[in-house]
């Protein structure tokens, strides 16, 4: 059974831009507001780029230490979307 919960909602995100580091960590979400709750990220799982039509989308898989979140940043519209999450009570093999 797939534990992924599809959300697909725009969210507010605070982003950190670093002067030094590898490409994956120069720009990344620091925290977001979702359903009236502020969620602070502690770990970047994966970051990659993709395209949707002619738009560049940056995908970030983040964790707050309990739950995992997939965020997308649309570089054309400058919007953040929380695509999905996996709640922390899911046990991985």
- pLDDT recorded at residue 93: 45
In degrees rounded to 5, what are phi and psi of residue 80?
-105, 135
Dist CA 93 CA 10 (whole Å): 31
Q: Taking the model in full, what pTM does it have? A: 0.87
Dist CA 93 CA 76 (whole Å): 38
CA 23, 59, 35: angle at the middle one, nearest 5? 125
One digit per residue, the tens of pLDDT, for the chain of length 93 reads 788 999 999 999 999 998 887 777 788 999 999 999 999 999 998 888 888 888 999 999 999 999 999 999 999 999 999 999 999 865 554
Place of tokens 């720009």: 27
């Amino acid at each position: 059974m797939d534990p992924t919960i599809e959300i697909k909602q725009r969210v507010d995100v605070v982003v950190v831009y670093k002067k030094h580091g590898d490409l994956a960590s120069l720009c990344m979400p620091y925290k977001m507001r979702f359903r009236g709750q502020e969620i602070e990220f502690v770990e970047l799982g994966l970051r990659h780029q993709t395209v949707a039509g002619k738009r560049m989308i940056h995908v970030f898989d983040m964790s707050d230490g309990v739950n995992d979140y997939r965020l997308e940043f649309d570089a054309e519209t400058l919007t953040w979307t929380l695509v999905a999450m996996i709640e922390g009570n899911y046990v991985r093999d």
